């Protein structure tokens, strides 16, 4: 019985070791997330699905004429009642560009 427990422990340990990242690989890889997902999780509550909710004084994104750089600035720094969301992009700058594209897409709906 003791051998069986030891045997299973050995097998489990080998499985865990073989599934973990190999030496030299970074475990700090950015988590890939789409602009749509970021918008749904962080922006919809005030800006709405179509960017026109305007809850709590939120800008109607469907009517916004802000440049890409201005959109990035407000996402990262916040404005008025909108908190800064820079913490979402510390490891994945491409996700910020994807979110900006999603915000601009709201103008076309």
Q: What is the pLDDT of residues 84-95, one digit of tens each?
A: 999 999 888 899
- Assigned domain for 75 exists: yes
Does position 15 have pLDDT exceeding 50, yes or no?
A: no
Long-range residue pairs from 24-31, CB within 8 A, at least 24 positions apart, any chain: 28/91, 29/91, 30/91, 30/92, 30/94, 30/95, 31/91, 31/92
CATH number at residue 104: 1.10.760.10
Domain encompassing residue 80: 32-108
Whole-prediction pTM value?
0.68
Q: What is the pLDDT of residues 19-69, one digit of tens each?
A: 444 444 444 555 578 899 999 999 999 999 999 988 888 989 999 999 999
At residue 16 the predicted structure's pLDDT band, cuts being 50, 70 and 90, is very low
- Assigned domain for 101 exists: yes
- Looking at residue 48, what is its pLDDT? 93
Domain tally for the chain?
Answer: 1
């Amino acid at each position: 019985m003791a051998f069986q427990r030891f045997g299973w422990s050995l097998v489990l340990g080998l499985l865990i070791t073989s599934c973990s990242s190999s030496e030299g690989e970074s475990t700090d890889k950015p988590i890939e997330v789409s602009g749509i997902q970021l918008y749904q999780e962080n922006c919809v509550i005030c800006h709405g699905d179509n960017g026109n909710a305007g809850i709590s004084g939120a800008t109607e994104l469907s009517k916004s004429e802000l440049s890409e750089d201005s959109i990035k600035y407000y996402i990262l720094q916040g404005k008025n009642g909108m908190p800064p969301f820079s913490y979402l992009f510390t490891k994945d700058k491409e996700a910020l560009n994807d979110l900006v594209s999603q915000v601009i897409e709201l103008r076309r709906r």
